[in-house]
Amino acid sequence: MDELELLDELTDELEKYKQETRYKKLTFDQWFRLDTQFQKTPHIHKIYSDIQFFPAGEHVVMRSLLNEFGYYPSSREETMKMAYDLLVLGYE
């Protein structure tokens, strides 16, 4: 294993650790509800994240779900990132 591969592996492990310590795993019911809403919610445009050409209703629903679970995102972009991270983390 060369130095770059080792660096990539360590970086991946660090990201996984950060993700696991930042968020606690949801229950299956919470995870399922969040996953269902995540599928309905339009993704954020990377360049114009604050200027959207669609209603924010689905993002508001997802943000309220996250609030219910104890997480408080402050923007649409953060809402989508937080939901994605929680879904990837899995459930208990």
pTM score: 0.70
Q: Does some domain include residue 3? A: no
Q: Does some domain include residue 73? A: yes
Stretch 66-79: mean pLDDT:
92
Alpha-carbon distance of 38 to 71, in angstroms, equals 15
pLDDT in tens, 26-66: 999 999 999 999 999 887 766 555 555 555 688 899 999 99
What tokens were used for 52? 């959207």
Q: Does some domain include residue 54? A: yes
Q: Does some domain include residue 11? A: no
User: In this structure, what are the phi and psi dihedrals at residue 51, rounded to the nearest 5 degrees?
Assistant: -105, 105
The residue among 63 and 3 whose pLDDT is bigger is 63
Residue 85: domain span: 23-89
Domains of the chain: total: 1
Q: Does some domain include residue 6? A: no
Q: What pLDDT does residue 56 have?
A: 64
